[in-house]
Amino acid sequence: MTDADDRIADGVPVTDAATAADAVEPDDVVLVSGFGGVGYPKRVPEALAADDRDLSLTVISGGGVGGEIDDELVEAGQMARRYPFQTRSVSRAAINDREVEFHDRHISRFGDEVRLGDFGDPGVAVIEAVAVGEDWLIPSTSIGHMPSFVAAADRLVVEVNETQPRLLEHVHDVYLRDLPPNRDPIPLEEPIGRVGSPKLEFDPEKLVAVVETDRPDDPYDFREPTEADTTIADNLRTFLEAELKRNPTLQEQICLQFGVGSLGNALMGALSEIEFADREVIYFGEVFQDGLLDAIDEGMLSGASATSLALSLEGQERLFDDIERYADDVVLRPADVSNNPALIDQFGVVGVNSAVDIDLYGNANATHIGGTRIVNGIGGGGDFNRNCRLGIIALPSTAAGGDISRVVPSVPHVDHTEHDHSVVVTEYGVADLRGASPAERMGAIIDVAHPDFRADLREYRERALENRGHVPVSADSEFR
């Protein structure tokens, strides 16, 4: 293939979505591409939702996908199990009502776990691409765990999306690691270097169907930053500026990571306010969001490494219109590379992630409201919090219009322990927990709670301090 507009190589048979759906067995484990709400298949999941057969599918993705999967398949009663992350209200309700079984996992290890059969025998991978040949494909707007999924599955269905530029191949760095114990270190020497190929290669015997689609992604719709978001961004900026002056690992280069979502995007947008002097600033994270486009255009960011172009529709149009220029600065990798603990440590990443709530000891709940109702999943937050050179939790101090404190005596569900991060930022300030004892941590975290809840939190701390032990605990701890 030489023409950049060519999508499907000569000799590769094309079929319709309904025929491709027949390649999926009624109780299959279905591996779908997609991460950050982009790069997921549309037509085949839609056909599966409309299938006359009584399906009981296990659906596995790398990250968040669109409504064709997590709305339509659920509403049709065709999905029995879901792994390991979702973002849609329909799938969320079904999981919380236990109509769909769900299991949450750290992203960095998930590709290996799928290849090892931890979630069942992978039957078919349904993958979105911008081009395909008899033994290769070019991913679309995300990579996620696509290489691991294609390697694990017995059968492969490829959707070729003509709404996305074939030139996306210039941002891809596809690299499949050997499974342990035959695994070598990832040979990546600098954050935006490349070690793989723009193409994902596969056994041609696996390819059972190719489907054409012209349907765009259903990506994030970022809300306007709230006053709390803006103040959190200001507090984070002030902290980072001080850290740049004192931290010897940040004198020449700083690698940053932000969690996905509206708050993360708002925090990315605040980067332009930071005085980085002569330092090289690089994004090394999981998702590439709209705020990073601004940072690249302003010349503040020298490059970005991620696994997904989790952009808004406007952001996608902006990138697609100038993809060749952005390809010089942006690289997409498989999620087990973008979230790899050794690389996060190697590059000294400063990671900023959020949480549902955090307790006075520093433990964070990132996934379950009230400790029981799932929101989305842990995603890559644990990969970065635990392995970053400096892990930061940023969150508003309250929820429900100010009626509920997000700083609590003890979180009802723990995703990140007090050992996994070093700093907490709210709109009321920064709690630097490095070197602090449990009793000291409690005081520092209370200081960044909403003023309306500090008196109750201080009363709890005083009761806890009356008891012996390294970690002061009061037996009447409340989860609110």
Q: What is the DSSP string of 402-469?
A: GTEESEESS-SS-SB-TTS-SEEEETTEEEE-TT--HHHHHHHHHTTS-HHHHHHHHHHHHHHHTS-S
> In this predicted structure, which of 22-36, 91-105, 177-191, 271-285 has the lowest mean pLDDT?
271-285
* Predicted local distance difference test score (pLDDT) of residue 477: 56
The token duo for 259 is: 């969690």
Lowest mean per-residue pLDDT among 225-234, 455-464, 469-478 = 469-478
Q: Which residues of 76-87 are buried (b: 16+ CB within 10 A; e: fewer)?
A: eebbebbbbbbb
Q: What is the DSSP track for 295-351?
A: HHHTT---EEEESB----HHHHHHHHHTHHHHTTTEEE-BHHHHT-HHHHHHTT-EE
> Which residue did the predictor score with more confidence, 479 or 323?
323
The β-bridge partners of 128 are 159
Question: Alpha-carbon distance 146 to 174, whole Å?
Answer: 9
Q: What mean pLDDT do residues 425-450 have?
A: 98
In this predicted model, what pLDDT tens digit does every residue of 91-106 receive, in sequence order?
999 999 999 999 999 9
Cβ atoms of 338 and 174 closer than 8 Å:
no
286 catalytic residue (yes or no): yes
The answer to whether residue 260 scores a pLDDT higher than 90 is no
- The one-letter code for the residue type at 382 is G
Residue type, 277: A
| Rg of the Cα atoms in the chain | 23
- Token pair recorded at residue 260: 């996905």
For residues 140 and 1, which has the higher predicted lDDT (pLDDT)? Answer: 140
Whether 98 contacts 373, CB under 8 Å: no
Distances (CA, A) of 136 to 139, 162, 179, 202: 10, 17, 21, 6
Q: Calculate the average pLDDT of the chain.
A: 94
Per-residue pLDDT tens for 198-232? 999 999 999 999 999 999 998 777 677 888 988 99
Q: Which two tokens stand for residue 169?
A: 């191949």
Please give the structure tokens belonging to residue 147. Answer: 């290489």
- Between the alpha carbon of residue 37 and those of residues 153, 287, 346, the distances in Å are 22, 10, 29
- Shortest CA distance to 465 belongs to which of 413, 405, 409? 409
pLDDT surpasses 60 at 2: no
Q: Cα–chain-centroid distance for residue 208?
A: 30
**CA distance readout (Å), 301 to 128, 281, 295, 308, 326:** 29, 5, 5, 18, 12
Q: pLDDT tier at 5 (50, 70, 90 boundaries)? A: low
Q: pLDDT digits over 108-126, tens only?
A: 999 999 999 999 999 999 9
Q: Pick the catalytic residue: 286, 317, 324, 459?
A: 286
Among 72-86, 255-269, 316-330, the range of highest mean pLDDT: 72-86
Cβ neighbors of 148 (< 8 A, separation 6 or more) are: 111, 112, 114, 115, 176, 334, 336
Pairwise CA distance, residues 463 & 106, whole Å: 36
Q: Which residues contact 54 (CB under 8 A, 6 or more apart)?
A: 26
Provide the pLDDT confidence category of residue 273 given band limits of 50, 70 and 90.
Answer: confident
Domain architecture of the chain: domains with CATH: 17-213 (3.40.1080.10), 227-465 (3.40.1080.10)
Does the pTM surpass 0.85? The reply is yes
Helix (H) or strand (E) holding 243: helix 227-246
Instruction: Please name which of 295, 287, 246, 423 lies closest in space to residue 352, comparing C-alpha atoms.
Output: 423
